[in-house]
Amino acid sequence: MAEETRDANAQQQMAQTLFNKGFAAFERGNLDIAADLLMHCVELSPGFSRARRFLRAAEFQKTKNVPRSQLGAKITELTSLPLFLKTKFLLKSGKNEKALVAAEQLLRRDPLQRKAIVLLANAAEAAGHTDAAILTLEVAVEYMPDDMDLIKRLGDAYIIAEDYGKARDCYNQVLEARPTDMEMLKLLKDAEAHNTMKAGGWNEFSEKKDGYRDLLRDKEQAEKLDIQAKAQTVSTDADKMLEDYRAKIADDPANLNYRRALARLFLQQKRFADAITTLEEAQKIHSSDPELDRNLSAARVQQYNVRITDLRTKGDVPGADALEKEKNAFVFTDLSSRVERYPNDLRLRFELGAILFEQDRHDDAIQQLQMAQRSPKDRNDALYYLARCFRAKGQNDMATMQLETALEQVPIMDDNRKKILMELGELAEQAGDTEKAFNFYREIYGADIAYRDIGQKMERIYKARQDKKA
């Protein structure tokens, strides 16, 4: 027993060492090395969630950096078929841990292949590593946010993990894209019911005869109301729907879907105060629901924006400016509060870091952005803002390091690459390295002559070079 414990500890230490090296390679943008090291890490320790997250991130980042064609994806799928079939056979044979390793190898060939992603999730769940399934699906959804099949599969994984709130959010997102999907509506209602029971409502319903059925009653009517709420409606129809919603909420006050749908209808009619009240009442039922928080914040910002636009239309510029300032203060306070409530939401941390930068609170911004860069989806934007923070503090070497890391991960000349190149050029020019600045600027100039003041910068450097020759 003691020897087994020593072996387990040694294996754990080895996994940690591999992770440290893999993470360092990821930070430097050495994605191939990072993926190799992190792959060995998860093979040694399948439950090492952070290693698996960065393995996925490295694989997705590598794929993002290479132009992708339908033909290339099909060829990869065909060449991967033997490994795919082997993985399925291992899974069917009950060799779940081996199936999980094989699925990891399969996904390394093409991390954007949905069949491989789902197969890995199936293998992870069968091996008892539901967290690994969730993590893989979460990262996949971050990179493919419009793939409703993956979002639905992520919801299924949340159900297995008994995280019914997140499952409900997934199903609700899919239903919004597919409003006539009856299966999805059933899954959404079931997830909502389980979430309500988990939050403390089970005893109340279980004491009643057919209590669980009562919790899920009137599904056909709920479906009708949800679909109607997504459509723009005329005033008369809207009034009838409002009456129906209120009656349903009175009959089933714990059903958040009715309240969400009612709030959506109020927002469509620009009845912001009523929408806000509806969402606040929903919060009293579920006080820790990030989706409700997002909806409530968005409704309040919409209300501000409409009032500001109205004031500007009427020519009341001072009033509009004052209200804009009030809105900005609300957004900051609200965002800070949500970061405290949901400290693991890296997107919220990025948004807060960006606002702190705009407020010239650079040290506070850096703290948030350094955490936000752990999110593969927000990593590049976080690095860019980190660079701007360090530059504002006069730490240009640190700024350059962040930008160079970000630049390696954006090979295509889009707006992200342009703004990173512009910052690098300005930093080089500020350091007196005109030639280095010229090379950065020239890359932008060759792709987009109208980008910001790139034309003026190039003319200035060209003139300086000519003067120097003269």
pLDDT in tens, the chain (470 residues): 555 556 666 777 888 888 888 888 777 777 778 888 888 887 887 767 777 777 877 777 766 555 555 555 566 667 778 888 898 898 888 888 888 888 888 877 777 788 888 998 998 888 888 888 888 888 788 778 888 999 999 999 999 888 888 899 899 888 888 877 788 888 888 888 777 666 544 444 444 444 434 444 444 444 444 444 444 434 445 677 777 777 887 778 777 777 877 888 787 778 888 888 888 888 888 777 777 788 888 888 888 888 898 898 889 989 989 998 999 899 899 999 989 988 888 889 999 999 999 999 999 999 999 999 988 878 889 999 999 999 999 999 999 999 999 888 887 788 889 999 999 999 999 999 988 999 999 888 888 888 888 888 888 888 887 777 76
Three-class DSSP category at 216: coil
∠ Cα 331 336 338 (to 5°): 95
Question: Of 1.10.10, 1.10.3470, 1.25.40, 3.10.530, which CATH number belongs to 1-128?
Answer: 1.25.40
Q: Please name the CATH architecture into which domain 231-287 falls.
A: Alpha Horseshoe (1.25)
For position 229, what pLDDT does the model report? 43
Dihedral sign (CA 374, 378, 380, 381): negative
Q: Where are the domains of the chain?
A: 1-128, 231-287, 412-470
- Tell me the CA distances in angstroms from 37 to 15, 17, 139, one per residue in order: 9, 9, 19
For position 5, what pLDDT does the model report? 55
CA 222 – CA 262 distance, rounded (Å): 12
Please give the full DSSP string across 73-124, using - where no structure is assigned.
HHHHHHHTHHHHHHHHHHHHTT-HHHHHHHHHHHHHH-TT-HHHHHHHHHHH
Domains 1-128 and 231-287 share a fold: yes
CA 215 – CA 199 distance, rounded (Å): 14
Contact 299, 263 (CB under 8 A): yes
CA 166 – CA 27 distance, rounded (Å): 30
Phi, psi of 163 (to 5 degrees): -100, 75
**What are all long-range contacts of 399-402, with beta carbons under 8 Å and residues at least 24 apart?**
399/423, 399/427, 400/424, 400/427
Number of Cβ within a 10 Å radius of residue 143: 19
Closest CA to 195 of 114, 118, 282, 110: 282
For position 403, what pLDDT does the model report? 94
Contact 141, 175 (CB under 8 A): no
CA 128 – CA 132 distance, rounded (Å): 9
CA 79 – CA 72 distance, rounded (Å): 11
What angle, 0 to 180 degrees and rounded to 10, lies between the N-to-C axes of helices 2-28 and 31-44? 160
Residue type, 422: M
Contact 99, 85 (CB under 8 A): no
Enter the tokens of residue 438: 């010229």
Exposed, middle or buried: residue 178 (CB in 10 Å: 0-12, 13-18, 19+)?
Answer: middle
Q: How many residues does the chain have?
A: 470
Number of Cβ within a 10 Å radius of residue 42: 25
For position 2, what pLDDT does the model report? 53
The contacts of residue 174 (CB under 8 Å, 6+ apart) are 148, 151, 152, 155, 181, 184
The contacts of residue 330 (CB under 8 Å, 6+ apart) are 300, 301, 304
Enter the tokens of residue 283: 């919060």
Phi, psi of 443 (to 5 degrees): -65, -40
∠ Cα 288 289 291 (to 5°): 150
For position 252, what pLDDT does the model report? 80
Plot region of 316 (φ>0 → left; ψ -120 to 50 → alpha; else → beta):
beta
